[in-house]
């Protein structure tokens, strides 16, 4: 490992990998991840990836995304995502990604809040299919160094300019690493919640550091709950039952075996209905039946889901399974523009870490992979547009010099549990603060209407 790189990418999911692959071979790149390479939420994405099938699909794709996001989306960001979708799919297929086909034609499925079938998929492990192929391409690049079990502790920043990161290696050493540009692709915030579909090590570190370093955030209270995760009394990551299952015909029942909701409502609305029914029934879950799926052999269409349910003691072709809402996705994040630039110079963010406004207040199903890929590529293009500059930071390793230059002190990072506990607390407090502001604004609005 070197002391200086052209680009540091924190995260090895689809956003991090796609950005790295769009940087030229003459750029030295360091990629780090807190866990193993396969432990990103990108690997967990089941349903699929949206695409604009033809020009006539543009308006409905736009409207479906805006409506799901309660029209709080940035329309220009949605436009960029939709118009870039076919090029992204073409690139993925050139990398070897395989999507379901029949007689040589791509198959499209539909999920909640979509007005038509526009989602490409690979069984029920689309995220794994895409991410594994991107990682294989990354491994082939001699200019890319990948470090696992390596944690970003902070950024090296001065005068609103990012000049690198402070990281803890797999051996526990604190190392400053200089770079001309840094891309945050650190995933979501599920690890700060008790019930989440995310990997527990994804704790929103970039957000916590952003709060410490004055990097602008956006909509941090926009946290999505997935309506259907497999109920379990065990602790740990919740297993997601994909939206595609309901899109293909699965239905929800209350404790009396009665359907109580339109299963294809947007996620936030469906979650509210499920929680309302659980309270009414006095239960900790509702039932989901996959036996109503008639278009497909469920074991062929959803092999991963069926196998996981079997491991938990449920045969989906013979019985209902218990499902419950759990934290799933983060629509807010580090505020970025259309080129994934943050408010700090030479610092970029892409994927779930960022908020470019595509998702608004609620994400449309299967837009996450597409949005991550589109804006990761745009981050890489923006980084290249500034080529010619050398990394500004000095490769200093003396802590007195680091403190003098970047205002960081070694003792602040010695107790890792305490340090990240502080970041977690700061994130949760910021989310709560924004929720209070929303409630106060709604209260004031209602009072004004009554007056």
**Domain range summary for the chain, segments of one domain joined by +:** 4-222+331-406, 226-327
Sequence-distant (6+) residues with CB within 8 A of 255 are: 281, 283, 286, 287
Helix 126-140 to helix 14-21 angle (10° resolution) is: 40
Spans of the chain, pLDDT less than 70: 387-397, 443, 445-451
Q: Phi and psi at residue 384, in whole multiples of 5°?
A: -70, -30
Predicted structure pTM score: 0.88
Question: Is 97:106 a contact under the CB 8 Å cutoff?
Answer: no
| Predicted local distance difference test score (pLDDT) of residue 193 | 87
What CA–CA distance (Å, rounded) separates 427 from 434? Answer: 11
| Predicted local distance difference test score (pLDDT) of residue 369 | 96
| Predicted local distance difference test score (pLDDT) of residue 312 | 94
In angstroms, the Cα distances linking 39 to 13, 113, 237 are 9, 29, 12
Catalytic residues: 267
Strand partners, 154: 166
What CA–CA distance (Å, rounded) separates 280 from 294? Answer: 30
| Predicted local distance difference test score (pLDDT) of residue 122 | 95
What CA–CA distance (Å, rounded) separates 6 from 20? Answer: 11
| Predicted local distance difference test score (pLDDT) of residue 448 | 58
| Residue 218: HSE in the Cβ half-sphere, 13 Å Cα cutoff | 21
Task: Collect contacts of 399-402 with beta carbons under 8 A, ≥24 apart.
Answer: 402/156, 402/166, 402/176
pLDDT tens digits, 284-305: 999 999 999 998 899 999 999 9
Residues in the chain: 451
DSSP state of 397: -
What CA–CA distance (Å, rounded) separates 373 from 297? Answer: 31
In angstroms, the Cα distances linking 248 to 201, 226, 365, 392 are 32, 17, 14, 53
What CA–CA distance (Å, rounded) separates 368 from 352? Answer: 8
pLDDT tens digits, 337-363: 999 999 999 999 999 999 999 999 999
What CA–CA distance (Å, rounded) separates 208 from 194? Answer: 18
Q: Phi and psi at residue 255, in whole multiples of 5°?
A: -70, -15
Tokens, residue 97 = 């990604």
| Predicted local distance difference test score (pLDDT) of residue 397 | 63
| Predicted local distance difference test score (pLDDT) of residue 111 | 87
Kindly report the CATH class assigned to 226-327.
Answer: alpha beta
What CA–CA distance (Å, rounded) separates 427 from 14? Answer: 24
Question: Is 299:124 a contact under the CB 8 Å cutoff?
Answer: no
Q: What angle do CA 425, 375, 158 make, to 5 degrees?
A: 55
| Predicted local distance difference test score (pLDDT) of residue 389 | 56
Kindly report the CATH class assigned to 4-222+331-406.
Answer: alpha beta
Residue tagged 């956006």 (tokens) = 218
């Amino acid at each position: 490992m070197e002391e200086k790189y052209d680009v540091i990418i924190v995260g090895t999911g689809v956003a991090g990998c796609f950005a790295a692959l769009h940087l030229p071979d003459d750029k030295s790149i360091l990629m780090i991840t807190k866990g193993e390479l396969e432990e990103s939420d990108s690997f967990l994405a089941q349903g699929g990836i949206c695409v604009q099938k033809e020009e006539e699909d543009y308006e409905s794709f736009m409207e479906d995304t805006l409506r799901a996001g309660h029209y709080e989306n940035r329309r220009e960001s949605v436009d960029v995502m939709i118009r870039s979708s076919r090029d992204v799919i073409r690139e993925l297929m050139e990398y070897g990604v395989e999507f379901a086909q029949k007689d040589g034609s791509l198959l499209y499925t539909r999920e909640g809040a979509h007005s038509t079938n526009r989602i490409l998929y690979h069984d029920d492990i689309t995220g794994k299919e895409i991410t594994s192929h991107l990682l294989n391409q990354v491994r082939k690049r001699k200019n890319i160094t990948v470090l696992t079990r390596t944690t970003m502790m902070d950024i090296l920043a001065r005068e609103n300019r990012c000049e690198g990161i402070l990281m803890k290696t797999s051996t526990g050493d604190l190392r400053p690493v200089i770079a001309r540009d840094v891309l945050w692709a650190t995933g979501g915030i599920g690890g700060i919640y008790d019930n989440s579909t995310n990997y527990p090590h994804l704790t929103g570190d970039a957000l916590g550091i952003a709060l410490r370093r004055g990097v602008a955030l956006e909509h941090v209270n926009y946290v999505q709950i997935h309506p259907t995760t497999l109920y379990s009394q065990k602790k740990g990551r919740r297993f997601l039952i994909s939206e595609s299952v309901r899109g293909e015909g699965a239905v929800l029942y209350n404790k009396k075996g009665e359907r109580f909701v339109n299963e294809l409502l947007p996620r936030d609305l469906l979650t509210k209905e499920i929680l309302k029914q659980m309270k009414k029934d006095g239960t900790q879950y509702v039932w989901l039946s996959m036996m109503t799926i008639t278009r497909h052999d469920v074991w062929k269409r959803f092999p991963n889901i069926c196998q996981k349910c079997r491991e938990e003691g449920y045969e989906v072709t013979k019985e209902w399974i218990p499902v419950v809402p759990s934290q799933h996705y983060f629509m807010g994040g580090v505020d970025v523009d259309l080129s994934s630039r943050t408010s700090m110079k030479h610092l970029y963010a892409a994927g779930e870490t960022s908020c470019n406004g595509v998702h608004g207040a609620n994400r449309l199903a299967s837009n996450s992979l597409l949005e991550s890929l589109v804006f990761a590529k745009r981050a890489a293009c923006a980084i290249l547009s500034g080529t010619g500059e050398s990394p500004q930071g000095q490769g200093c390793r003396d802590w007195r010099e680091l403190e003098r230059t970047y205002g960081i002190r070694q003792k602040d990072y010695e107790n890792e549990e305490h340090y990240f506990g502080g970041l977690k607390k700061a994130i949760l407090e910021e989310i709560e603060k924004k929720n209070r502001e929303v409630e106060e604004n709604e209260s004031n609005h209602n009072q004004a209407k009554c007056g």
